[in-house]
Amino acid sequence: MSSNRIGVVGAGTMGQGIAQVLAASGCEVQLYDVADEQLERAKGGIGKGLDKLVAKERLSSEDRDSALKRLETTSKLEDLKECEIIIEAAPENEELKERLFRDLSQLGKEVILASNTSSLSLTQLAAVCDQPERVVGMHFFNPVPVLKLVEVIRAEQTSDATVKKIEQLAEKMGKTAVPIADSPGFAVNRLLVPMINEAAFLVQENAATPEAIDQAMKLGAAHPMGPLALADLIGLDVCLSIMEVLQQGFGDPKYRPCPLLKRMVAAGYLGRKSGRGFYHYE
């Protein structure tokens, strides 16, 4: 097992970003996905991401080339055997992640298993693994190369040694690790998404337009973007599913999703990705 070799499971939006930052930070990266075409797309995406940093003079072209040499892709799970830490960024599906963690835990007794899940219980994921003390949450934010935060989520079973290793890796990646207990929505989503939901209530009640709400929060609370523009960026379906996780997880009516948000998702108005959300996009 090499202490500098990190596995990334899932080569989608988050897996790509995580693999890019790891490779640029000097780690040997083994990027795994079930879909070969996704691995090809990820290699192209990571190359472009690093090129952008070179263009901004934040990375030399030699460092870009050596980062790319440190990146390997595979569709065989066994190829992750030599990794010290594996970061999972597969789709947000409980059954899929549990199956994956059961398989990953069979690769070796010592490999640390981190999940980038936004909403699932780490305690439940750890429970399906042998040596559950090595399971932990490592929650990155999108876009990974830009946003500095990593929420480090401690399952009931997670050991201090596991948390320490993850904090060290986050630091190596130039990120700031913030420790959080395993509770629904962790910290950022539990604060941010109810604010978005409340902004949707304001629109539903005709209390203010989306433009007025966003301007108010930019000027009055110094937010870099308003909550409804942010909702469109995140995806209204993602916001709704986080509200549902909070509502189910806490059983508290204060987390009820706004009916307007539900109607917009049902209509396919998902934000930027569908061309229409609280705003219209070309």
- Give the residue numbers marked as catalytic: 118, 139, 151, 189
d(CA 24, CA 121) in angstroms, rounded, equals 30
* 225 near ligand NAD, judged by CB under 6 A: no
Nearest to 144 by CA among 279, 281, 29: 29
* 184 near ligand NAD, judged by CB under 6 A: no
| Subset of residues 5 to 24 that bind ligand NAD, contact rule: CB under 6 A | 9-15
Q: Which is nearer to ligand NAD, 73 or 202 (CB)?
A: 73
Q: Which is nearer to ligand NAD, 13 or 183 (CB)?
A: 13
| Subset of residues 51 to 90 that bind ligand NAD, contact rule: CB under 6 A | 89-90
In one letter, which amino acid is 16? Q
**Helical H segments across the chain, by residue range:** 13-24, 36-55, 61-69, 94-105, 122-127, 160-172, 188-204, 210-221, 227-234, 236-250, 259-266
* 92 near ligand NAD, judged by CB under 6 A: yes
Nearest to 125 by CA among 107, 137, 111: 137
* 117 near ligand NAD, judged by CB under 6 A: yes
* 114 near ligand NAD, judged by CB under 6 A: no
d(CA 6, CA 38) in angstroms, rounded, equals 19
Give residue number: closest CB to ligand NAD: 12
* 142 near ligand NAD, judged by CB under 6 A: yes
d(CA 167, CA 178) in angstroms, rounded, equals 9
State the residues that interact with ligand NAD by CB under 6 A.
Answer: 9-15, 33-35, 38, 89-92, 96, 100, 116-118, 140, 142
